[in-house]
């Protein structure tokens, strides 16, 4: 009698436990990325922004290398074709964005850094229109304007007129520049090679580490200074490096990729908007920062703007997909 092999049922193919909980996975991703802002604050006095960025990506690359090596070999032809874009993501979206974010935490409150980061989804929407001519509805544009005003309200500490005289805190200006870079990174992800998330993190963290070392050599204390800072770090410094190298750089990428796979990018991308929320809450809880009146006013504009923009985008998508 010949034994027949039954195909596995869909239930056995699905991940189990936490890896089958998309909302939890996506929330954890936003929490870990929000915590990156707090780590920048804790690094003050231990590492400068360039040193922290360099150590983050060197450690992340070394940690993921043995796990991603088999997929790197299998996907090498596709990686080689998209090497330029992978370098772009590592340099612009990983190293440059985080160096500016860590720099911003030296000059402004973590709450400000978190709330200005809320501009990223809106900047992506604006970039989609300006670069790729993706049309936006009137309601969508109202949402964009509200969110941008909310970010300006934070950056000018409740006095938007200060923008006329370019009287903006250096830290807030650095975070605005970081948000622009990450929006550009996000826009260009449409050219990402078709490779797995682990191979993507390995290759981009390699370029991130390489560019971070170059930044360290050009704008900070050089390689000797990096070695010196590493040797003299306190346990707190090592905890900060371990956190930024493992949780925001690797684990959050894994949980986000799995969450997106389970419920799709349209629904999953909404959780990105939780990053500034978690960043602000953690700043209050862990750093003892105070939410000022201008933060609350800005939050109303930012949340309303993002909500309107997301609603408009999804309504437009439903109309496109509606059977004729």
Residue 168 in domain: yes
Cβ-proximal residues to 199 (8 Å cutoff; 6+ apart), any chain:
68, 71, 72, 75, 79
Within-domain flag for 100: yes
Instruction: Provide mean pLDDT across the span 210-224.
Output: 96
Question: For residues 243 and 286, what is the distance between their CA atoms, to the nearest angstrom?
Answer: 15
Structure tokens at 33: 């990325």
- What pLDDT is recorded for position 10? 44
Q: How confident is the model at residue 144 (pLDDT cuts 50, 70, 90)?
A: confident
Integer Cα distance of 40 and 299 in angstroms: 22
The whole-number average pLDDT for the span 307-312 is 74
Domain-located, residue 193: yes
CA distance 209 to 57: 5
Q: In terms of Cα–Cα distance, which of 20, 68, 95, 89 is closest to 255?
A: 20
What is the sign, positive or negative, of the torsion defined by CA atoms of 261, 267, 271, 272?
Answer: positive
Range of the domain at 62: 21-317
Hey, which of 122-131, 241-250, 258-267, 283-292 has the most confident mean pLDDT? 241-250
Q: Is residue 53 part of a domain?
A: yes
pLDDT class of 229 with cuts at 50, 70, 90? very high
Token couple for 118:
């809320």
Binned at pLDDT 50, 70 and 90, residue 14 comes out as low
**pLDDT per residue over 180-208, tens digit each?**
999 999 999 889 999 999 999 999 999 99
pLDDT at res. 162: 74
> Does 6 map to a domain?
no
Q: Identify the pLDDT of residue 136.
A: 65
**Percent of the chain with pLDDT strictly greater than 70:** 87
Mean pLDDT across 149-162: 80
Residue 2 contacts residue 246 (beta carbons within 8 Å): no
Residues, the chain, total? 324
Q: Is the residue at 91 inside a domain?
A: yes
pTM for the model stands at 0.84
Domains identified in the chain, total number = 1
Q: Quick check: is 9 in a domain?
A: no
Q: How many CB atoms lie within 10 A of CB 290?
A: 10
Cβ–Cβ < 8 Å for 48, 234: no
Asked whether residue 8 is assigned to any structural domain, the reply reads no
Residue 255 token pair: 């949980």
Per the CB < 8 A criterion, the answer to whether 111 and 291 are in contact is yes
Q: Report whether 187 contacts 152 (CB < 8 A).
A: no
Q: How far apart are CA 151 and CA 117, in angstroms?
A: 8
- Report the pLDDT value the prediction gives residue 55, as an integer from 0 to 100: 97
């Amino acid at each position: 009698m010949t034994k027949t092999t039954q195909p596995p049922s869909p239930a056995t193919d699905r991940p189990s436990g936490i890896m089958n909980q998309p909302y939890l996975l996506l929330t954890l991703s936003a929490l870990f990325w929000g915590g990156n802002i707090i780590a920048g604050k804790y690094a003050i006095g231990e590492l400068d922004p360039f040193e922290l960025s360099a150590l983050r990506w060197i450690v992340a690359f070394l940690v993921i290398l043995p796990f991603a090596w088999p997929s790197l070999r299998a996907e090498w032809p596709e990686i080689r074709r998209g090497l330029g874009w992978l370098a772009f993501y590592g340099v612009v979206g990983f190293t440059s964005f985080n160096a500016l974010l860590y720099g911003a935490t030296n000059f402004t409150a973590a709450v400000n850094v978190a709330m200005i980061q809320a501009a990223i989804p809106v900047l992506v929407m604006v970039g989609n229109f300006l670069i790729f001519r993706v049309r936006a509805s009137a309601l969508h544009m109202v949402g964009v304007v509200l969110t941008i005003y909310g970010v300006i309200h934070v950056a000018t500490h409740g006095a938007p007129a200060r923008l006329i005289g370019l009287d903006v805190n250096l830290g807030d200006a650095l975070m605005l520049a970081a948000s622009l870079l990450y929006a550009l990174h996000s826009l260009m992800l449409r050219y990402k090679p078709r490779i797995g998330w682990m191979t993507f993190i390995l290759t981009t963290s390699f370029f991130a580490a390489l560019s971070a070392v170059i930044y360290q050599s050009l704008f900070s204390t050089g390689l000797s200074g990096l070695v010196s800072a590493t040797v003299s770090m306190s346990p707190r410094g090592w905890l900060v490096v371990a956190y930024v190298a493992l949780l925001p750089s690797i684990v959050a990428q894994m949980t986000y990729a799995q969450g997106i796979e389970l419920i799709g990018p349209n629904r999953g991308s909404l959780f990105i908007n939780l990053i500034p929320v978690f960043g602000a809450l953690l700043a209050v809880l862990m750093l003892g920062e105070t939410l000022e009146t201008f933060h609350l006013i800005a939050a109303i504009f930012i949340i309303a703007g993002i909500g309107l923009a997301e609603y408009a985008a999804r309504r437009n998508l439903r109309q496109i997909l509606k059977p004729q």
